[in-house]
Structure 1
Amino acid sequence: MKVFAVLLLAVATASAGVLPKAPVHPRDRTASIQGRITNGKEAVAEQFPYQVGLSFSSSQGGWWCGGSIIAANWVVTAAHCTDGATSVTASYGATVRTNPKFTQTISSSDFIQHESYLSLTVRNDISLIKTPTISFSAAVNKIALPAIASSYSTYVGQTAVASGWGLVSDSATSVAPNLQYVDLTVISNTVCQQTFGSLIVTSRVICVATPNAQSTCQGDSGGPLALDSTLIGITSFGSADGCESGAPAAFTRVTYYLDWIKENSGVSA
């Protein structure tokens, strides 16, 4: 059974911050992955060497997420992926999901979940995973972070690429063996707020348009949104209306958290 982590936001008045549509995390709360990015393209070997598959375990079951290698011993993912987990098995260098170059099993004691993560408003949806040191190759390598600066691009109008093994469609039930990707155009937060409201879409969030039913979906959580080989987003949430609804898809805005990443991992551009 595919279960979305639906976030319900109670508000007393109809203000600008009210959620027109409830956001949902594309976290797959099943032991296996079903499907892929909706209506995306199939990746080829070594196309996304920074992509990691993350199979989380907990006393309540398991779920699948994505992540990005940012250093030889650090992976970044979403806080809603690490939340409640006791361990994770990380799969590296996989295009075919079941055939990674190698795996590592990591305890939750090596998770650094953002200390102010708040699921209710999808605030600070970012976590770091400290891993045993890996060796880089053509199939397994890090992705660059944006350089720390006094101001950052909004990326509006630019086309970035999301990758992962999430659902192929809202009705998908079959397993997709191969990594998928899709090119998506960044939209302004003002436009994104028209769908999710200003309580959800803050400066911590970056959104993309999802025309032609092309989007991130369940199982893609925590995975990368990359622009010019630089990580700009971490898959966070979408619309409760479904991945093919045409509503924006939202990501944790990496530039907002560069200082936090450096403070907790020592990693920077």
Structure 2
Amino acid sequence: MQNNTANTENTCGGSLISNTWVLTAAHCTFGAETVTVGLGSILKSSSLIEHTVTKKNIVYHKNFNNKTLFNDISLIRIPRVKFNKYIQPVKLPKLKSHPDTYTGHDSIATGWGLTLNASNMYPDVLQYTHFKIMSRKTCVAFWGKQITKSNLCVSTKWGNSICNGDSGGPLVEYYSMVQIGC
């Protein structure tokens, strides 16, 4: 997904949650005049379908705070897409699930973000890495009071992490492939 403001272009991830809605991080769409959503490929440069929509098609969480990034979630309405073997909606968690529901579970994050902190090269091929979901208590002990009850924290393996360009992409529980974060 590309966010186009007056002077910049940002790349973020997103998840198709229905045939007309994409879920992403609000900071990825904040201030955008247009957003281009690509679907159906693991190559950023060759989406099967692309839709560019204007800011009137972006819905922010009603309590989103751009300074603290609390409630950092938005939806993008796109023209109706037909599902096929390459374009499918992600599974979403049950309404009553809570971040602590997934403590200790394995997960996978995907994105087109930087692969090295010191680099400015973004990959064209979708990347992924594995994480273990941490308990909220452990996360608060490490990060402090900035962690709220709606945050989900992960521990990394072998120095793998997400980076610039991965924001808004899905974090899915490994076995069920249910999206539990973005």
Q: For the superposition of Structure 1 and Structure 2, which TM-score range results when normalised by the shorter chain?
A: over 0.9
Out of 140, 155, 161, the residue aligned to residue 209 of structure 1 is 155
Contact 1:123–1:204, Cα closer than 8 Å, also in 2: no
Structure 1 residues 15-94: aligned runs within 5 Å: 54-94=1-41
Q: In 1, distance between residues paired with 2:89 and 2:13?
A: 14
Aligned length: 179
The equivalent position to 1:114 in structure 2, one of 61, 81, 90, is 61
Counterpart for residue 113 of structure 2: 166
> 1:125 and 1:175 mapped to 2: Cα distance?
23
Instruction: Supply the distance in 1 between the matched residues of 2:31 and 2:122 (Cα, whole angstroms).
Output: 25
- Cα deviation for residue 115 of structure 1 reads 1.8
User: Normalised by the size of structure 1, how large is the TM-score?
Assistant: 0.64
Within the candidate set 210, 231, 241, 2:179 is matched to 231
Q: Partners of 2:60 and 2:114 in 1: how far apart?
A: 25
Quote the RMSD (CA, aligned, Å): 1.3
TM-score (normalizing by structure 2): 0.93
1:211: Cα distance to partner? 2.7
Which whole-Å CA distance do the structure 2 matches of 1:142 and 1:113 have between them? Answer: 20
Partner Cα distance (1:154, 1:120) in 2: 28
1:99: how far off?
1.0
Select between 135-144 and 189-198 the one with higher mean Cα deviation.
Answer: 189-198
**Identical aligned residues as a percent:** 34
What SS class does the counterpart of residue 12 from structure 2 fall into? strand
CA distance in 1, matches of 2:102, 2:11: 28
Q: Deviations over 1:165-213 (max 9, x none)?
A: 0010111233412001111100012222233321x21111101001311
